[in-house]
Amino acid sequence: MRPVIGLEVHVQLTGAGSKLFCGCKADYRGMPPNTNVCPVCLGLPGALPVPNRRAVVQALAAAMALKCRIPGAIVFTRKHYFYPDLPKNYQITQFERAGGAPVCTSGVLEYLDPAGWVWRRARIRRINLEEDPGRSVYPGGSIVSSEEVLVDYNRSGVPLLEIVTEPDIPSPRAARAFVEYLLLTLEYIGAVNPRLEGAFRVDANISLPGGERVEVKNIGSTLEVERALEYEYKRQRLILERGGRVERETRHWDAHRRMTKPLRHKEEEAEYLYMPDPDLPPVLTRPLLGEAEALVATSPRRLLDEITGDGVPLEVAWSIVQARPAASLYMEARGRVRDPRVLARLLGVDYKGALREAGRGPHDPSNWPPAETMARLARLVEEGEYPPEAVRGLIIPGLVRDPQASLETVLPEKAEGLEAVVDEVIRAYPRAVQDYMSGKRRALDYLVGQVIRRLGRRAVDPREVRRLLEERLGGG
């Protein structure tokens, strides 16, 4: 029983600088409640909105990246509903069936699904540019346990892209892959930092043959997208298998209990009383297309094609592209090495893995060394100056601790007198030698480890250690 899945992804334009219709900051995080506000985003009488040019340009760049049809003008509309966190009692958005015009329609996103390393395709129905509402805070932990509700308007008016797909997503795992690739695409445009708290939210629509469509609201991470849809798929399938009826409704995803819960019956569009916003004239798109086009010069797909064109495996190339600093380093250093595959592994596997082990983010450019440092390190590996094991275990950890350090300060001393150390280990561990001579091949690994331990932080190739041990001990 295959599900039918469509997504509505709401992405804050954290790179827009200010809110959509006023000069308050787009990044409100860490501010005391209700301090990032002004008469416009609070909806006070007489305050008039003025569109943020950078937000509109970033929205148009997103439309280009998703191969959408862009109208000659975008028209804002009012969507009326009454929540405490909506200060004007309406949201400025775009709705084409109420006299508005969205940023774009009829697009497509080809996204990489790492589950099978296949490219999938999902049609984009439209992209709306709208303002984010404020935030309701429940001091007791939830709407049920709180005796009061607090409202923080710092977020109110932050520019938000609503990206709506057609029901083309084939599975919960593919839905997660779609959102991850979409966010990466918008990050390369400079529109969003998806790692900021609350930078994106997903509403997922899912139905099974014989049942109505159910919307799951406010999913806050890509992992939870997959979990929420997996749960809802199993819930609906169980109802249908038992002869029940899946009704059309809106449900809330409880990430702590990992289950969906009824929220309300699905509203119809007419209930929102859409109307064109009389305070905002149409925004002509043609004068802004040049600025938008400059933002989409680099895309994840374009970089993937370039890196894999150098012979780099897709898995390693994808690891590099997922971290923009790594991708920038690769493109800058690739012409300074003989074999780009060595550089790619150093960046996408070894250094990125060491960053994660050290608890440092691979998305922060300050955590990465200069391109020349990585190029020189790759050349040392290419020329056989240092074995890959020494680079991974000794050199890269030193660079992770101090990315701006010169390579000379972190290069380990090369091991000398290796034959003498091998002989010492053979004499010191006769039991392991006897086990190896009797056919226990794993005893050789133990002896190799003891040699490397005695050498300390001196660089040595384990393959050379193994060769010397086998030479001294015979075939075993």
What does the pLDDT look like over 265-283, one tens digit per residue?
555 666 788 999 999 999 9
Distances (CA, A) of 266 to 32, 72, 353: 35, 33, 45
Residues of the chain with CATH 1.10.10: 418-473
What local confidence, expressed as pLDDT, does residue 452 receive? 65
Q: Please report which residue ranges of 68-202 form alpha helices under DSSP H.
A: 172-189
**What's the mean pLDDT when you consider all of the chain?**
89
Cβ contact 94:274 at 8 Å: no
What local confidence, expressed as pLDDT, does residue 384 receive? 75
What local confidence, expressed as pLDDT, does residue 469 receive? 72
| Pair type for strands 283-284 and 259-264 | unpaired
Cβ contact 461:469 at 8 Å: no
Whose tokens are 């929220």? That residue is 263
Beta bridge partners of 216: 204, 251
User: In CATH, what number does 418-473 get?
Assistant: 1.10.10
What local confidence, expressed as pLDDT, does residue 403 receive? 95
The band of 406, judged by pLDDT with boundaries at 50, 70 and 90, is confident
Q: Is the pLDDT of residue 189 over 90?
A: yes
- If DSSP codes are grouped into helix, strand and coil, which group holds residue 301? helix
What is the token pair recorded at 458? 């001196």
Write down how long the chain is: 476
Q: Is the pLDDT of residue 459 over 60?
A: no
**Where is pLDDT greater, at 474 or 28?**
28
Cβ contact 5:167 at 8 Å: yes
- Backbone Cα Rg of the chain: 28
Share of the chain above pLDDT 90, in %: 70
**Where is pLDDT greater, at 397 or 204?**
204
What local confidence, expressed as pLDDT, does residue 392 receive? 82
Q: Strand (E) positions, 100-226? A: 104-113, 118-131, 135-137, 150-152, 159-165, 200-207, 214-219
Give the chain's largest Cα–Cα span: 92
Residue 246, phi then psi, degrees to nearest 5: -85, 115
